[in-house]
Structure 1
Amino acid sequence: MKHRIKKEEIIGFIFISPWVIGFFAFTLIPMLISGYLSFTEWNVLTGLEGINFVGFENYSEIFTDDEDFWQSLKVTFTFSFIFLPLSQVFALALACLLNQKVKGLKIFRTILFMPTVMPAVAVSLLWMWIFNSQYGILNRFLAIFSIQGPDWLQNPKTSLSALIIMGLWGVGSTMIIFLSALQDVPSSLYEAASIDGITPFKRFLYITVPMISSTIFFNLVMGIIGSFQYFTQAHVMTKGGPLGSTLFYNLYLYNVAFEKYEMGYASALAWIMFFIIVFFTALVFKSSTLWVYYENEGKSKGKKMKGEQV
């Protein structure tokens, strides 16, 4: 019996070993190295001999003398605080529509999910054509209603808005997760509420939202991480312009690391963003006890209350 258990443990370790090796080789060890490099001044072109330990000088310079840091932080926060709630609401609305029993539902689901599986670079090139001020399809559509469309990507006032609009087009993965959660809500709850004369809006507010709150929590956490790491679209479409209006944090970090080759400074920037993401994620986790409902916890609490009454 003991021999069989040991054999099963060995087989289990063999199966999880690729993930463990990958975690150490591509996540933990690089993080530790970048943590050390954040306290150094190192231009990659000088080789390992050029690494000079400077303590907290990188962090001091970032917070006191680096205007691009504050601009990139402003752009990233603005994008995240606008795009994140819009994307969650939009994805949930689409999921509710796709949860209805209508003809051709599978076709609609496929069409709405398809942008998610398209390469980010290809999507960026497509939207560059859509946003083109002269022959872009968006401005031509606006011209039908006698509206003069702006130069979306070349105007500092509209460039960030253009990226937000493009981002809403790719909420397919969030939508599918919401859809699976909606389909798990017991229909008996809606039937009972309907018999009692509860309006559809109240049914959504008091039944649907609490029952899918754990899914909202998951999508919110993933959305926070994704929005703060926004990079590819801005790099391909605007390069951070015009006038720094789309200079996202990750784009600025990329420029410092792979255009200026200041790897120590870039590592410090990376760790600052890491702690920002950890802070907001922890904030959501802390608040989840107030608004996230888990069915199993609800049942266990009910049983506990009954036991206390007895």
Structure 2
Amino acid sequence: MTTRLVNHRTDSAETPGAAAPPSPASDAHRGTKRWSARSRKDFFVFLAMALPNLALIATFTYWPLLNNIYYSTLDWTLGSASATVVGLQNYVTFFTGDDAGKVLGTTAVFTLVTVGGSMVLGLLVALALNSKVRGTTFARSAVFAPYVLSGVGVGLVWLFIFDPGYGVLAWILRGLGQQSPQWINDPQLSLVMVIIVYIWKNLGYCAVVYLAGLQSLPRDVMEAAALDGANNVRRFLNISVPLLSPTTFFLLITTMLSSLQAFDLIRIMTPLGNGTSTLIYEAYLQAFGAYNRAGYSASISVVLFAILLVITVLQLRFVERKVHYS
């Protein structure tokens, strides 16, 4: 019986006109055709989904950026119907002028202090909020609330507190027999005042992000360290801080970009930029203040964009190497 079956298969395979079994080459060819059709379909779906977003980004981000770079090469007074092409003269004027050092220095001090202060204090607050005690939910909401408030409203409230004439702080100091510092009139104190308010407003953002990072730390590692005799400080410095490096890296980028672009608090609390003229606020004053130098203001904006780009690239290139993702 076995012999007959074998002969039957052999005869049917050798019968003229019988269909030949599919070869591997033909299967691969048909698979390529099917994959190509599927790839084309996926590509068109991608275009349908991505093109509207890319069009919006190109229209409202890249096109204004290119226009601003072009305007920075013009000697143009805001509102004037004509402008003169001056090339890089606006940049030369900015970097060789007396205000460049002050503006860049103020920007550096404001950014470094606000970023460092927000992250350090945010981590400490997150450690306190990570405790399982009654009232932590309310405390978390209270800490995060200033971050979502309007910068204009926050600036007006704190301006009423710091005002040396009729402010709340001045009233308290007079009750103690002390004179209120000239927060608004003194350039150095004005910068300190704005830094304090900016850190207070953005403290909740860093605290909430760090809190999420603390709650995602592996418990088995912390318990093993506790069994080995490591106290709370050693566990925090040797385990929690390295494991929080992705969170720290994320906050470092976002808070630094935000601080370099801080505008609303500075505009409300120090309208004339008395000691608080960062790059973005100096660009505003040059264009919409008493000067109306739109081309010069555009060149300052381009300098700020270049600084933002360089800082982001350096962070992604060098700082990310020290981040532990596992």
TM range, smaller chain: 0.7 to 0.9
1:131–1:40 Cα change, 3 Å: same
RMSD between aligned alpha carbons? 2.1
Write the distance in 2 (CA, Å) between the matches of 1:132 and 1:294. Answer: 47
Larger radius of gyration: 2
The answer to whether residue 111 in structure 2 is matched with residue 80 in structure 1 is yes
1:101–1:33 Cα change, 3 Å: same
Equivalent in the alignment of 2:8 = none
Letter in 1 for 2:182: D
Structure 2: stretches of 5+ with no match in the other structure: 1-33
Aligned runs of 1:292-307 on 2, under 5 Å?
292-295=323-326
Equivalent in the alignment of 2:30 = none
Equivalent in the alignment of 2:86 = 54
Write the distance in 2 (CA, Å) between the matches of 1:210 and 1:143. Answer: 47
SS at match of 1:34: helix
1:9–1:46 Cα change, 3 Å: same
Letter in 2 for 1:132: D
TM-score by length of 2: 0.82
Letter in 1 for 2:200: W
Aligned runs of 1:115-194 on 2, under 5 Å?
115-142=146-173, 147-170=178-201, 171-194=203-226
- CA positional deviation for 1:58: 1.1
Contact residue 87 and residue 168 of structure 1 kept, 8 A: yes
Shifted more, 273-282 versus 132-141: the winner is 132-141
SS at match of 1:44: coil
Aligned runs of 1:1-310 on 2, under 5 Å?
6-47=40-81, 50-64=82-96, 66-142=97-173, 147-170=178-201, 171-241=203-273, 244-259=274-289, 260-295=291-326
Identical residues among aligned pairs (%): 31
TM-score by length of 1: 0.86
SS at match of 2:223: helix
Contact residue 256 and residue 266 of structure 1 kept, 8 A: yes
Write the distance in 1 (CA, Å) between the matches of 2:264 and 2:62. Answer: 24
| Number of residue pairs aligned between Structure 1 and Structure 2 | 290
Equivalent in the alignment of 2:28 = none
Write the distance in 1 (CA, Å) between the matches of 2:174 and 2:235. Answer: 41
1:204–1:249 Cα change, 3 Å: same
Contact residue 240 and residue 248 of structure 1 kept, 8 A: no
- CA positional deviation for 1:24: 0.4
1:4–1:145 Cα change, 3 Å: farther
- CA positional deviation for 1:139: 3.7
- CA positional deviation for 1:190: 1.1
SS at match of 1:157: helix
- CA positional deviation for 1:280: 2.6
Shifted more, 106-115 versus 232-241: the winner is 232-241
Letter in 2 for 1:226: S
